[in-house]
Amino acid sequence: MGAPVTAGGKTRRGKGLSESQLGRVLVTPAVIVMCAVVFFPILATVWLSLHKYNLKYPYLGQPFVGLDNYVKILSDGRFLNSLKVTTLFTVSSVSVELVLGMAIALLLNRPFKGRGLVRTAVLVPWALTTVVMARMWAWIFNSEYGVFNAILYGLGFIDQYIPWVADTQFALWAAMGADIWKTTPFMALLLSAGLQTIPRELYEASMVDGASGWKQFWSITIPILKPTILVALLFRTLDAARVFDLLFVLTGGGPGFATESLSIYTYRSLFVNLDFGYGSALAVATFLYVMLISFIYIKVLGARTER
């Protein structure tokens, strides 16, 4: 016998709670946990950013300074440099990863002998821990015994070894190369999953109509794959915009401030300079930067995808 229905259309189980009330009760613990581990730290950081609080000078207390920390950010050359580094790293790395990931996904989508083994091998870089990968690339780029220098020197592209991660001209590009090597498989994996959803009949019909492979790619593959591309770009862009571990281990943010990202600058302000007020303001600025990127992807690119 089914549960009785009330006048409001909500079912009741005897004299117990309605289904909607039961749902609220069951979801309440999860909401409390989310508030405790997500929303409360965010609000606490925002509140702390409105104060002048430096652990090096505890006798000064925590005076309320309003938006002074944010005004300071706008005139902070080091912050503007870290914003530039983060943006350049994000745009360059993700763009190359999208192109290479698409090429690999298209290759893996074709049937050939040993495809399963190739798929597994492609995912190895992504499976490595970032810290381990960064240390590996630090050895590869070493200016004295690095493999990268040895290969370029052997091929005649350079006449002397180059300190890739110790030169302000090359350090950021070297870090981008390491990031592209590691995360391109992730992009390829998402795009490959999207390619699996495209019916083969569409390609067969287009071949009957005389469409070339390039025409099929732009008229069939790209339009159908747009939602998957959006998701892949969103995930990778947000991850790259928050880059910390790769740059911190590979270059330490140097030489100078050549590879100092927003996350590294925030870390140094908080845990090296112990300036919790200004560091919290930097953390909020980084959060807003990532939120802006999310908004652009979802509202702008998402709207184009739905057309």
Answer whether 143's CB lies under 8 Å from 162's CB: yes
Question: Can you give the pTM of this predicted structure?
Answer: 0.84
State the pLDDT at residue 1. 44
State the pLDDT at residue 112. 76
> Rg for the chain (alpha carbons), in Å?
26
60-76: pLDDT as tens digits = 888 999 899 999 999 99
State the pLDDT at residue 11. 47
Considering the four listed CATH numbers 1.10.260.40, 3.30.70.260, 1.10.3720.10, 3.90.280.10, the one that applies to the domain covering 71-306 is 1.10.3720.10
State the pLDDT at residue 126. 87
Give the domain ranges of the chain.
Answer: 19-49, 71-306
200-213: pLDDT as tens digits = 888 878 888 777 77
State the pLDDT at residue 249. 93
3-state secondary structure the chain: CCCCECCCCCEECCCCCEHHHHHHHHHHHHHHHHHHHHHHHHHHHHHHHCECCECCCHHHCCCECCCHHHHHHHCCHHHHHHHHHHHHHHHHHHHHHHHHHHHHHHHHCCCCCCHHHHHHHHCHHHHCCHHHHHHHHHHHCCCCCCHHHHHHHHHCCCCCCCCHHHCCCCHHHHHHHHHHHHHHHHHHHHHHHHHCCCCHHHHHHHHHCCCCHHHHHHHHHHHHHHHHHHHHHHHHHHHHHCCCHHHHHHCCCCCCCCCCCHHHHHHHHHHHCCEHHHHHHHHHHHHHHHHHHHHHHHHHHHHHHHC
Please, is 198 exposed, middle or buried when counting C-beta atoms within 10 Å of its C-beta (0-12, 13-18, 19+)? middle
Mark the ranges of the chain whose per-residue pLDDT is less than 70.
1-16, 300-307
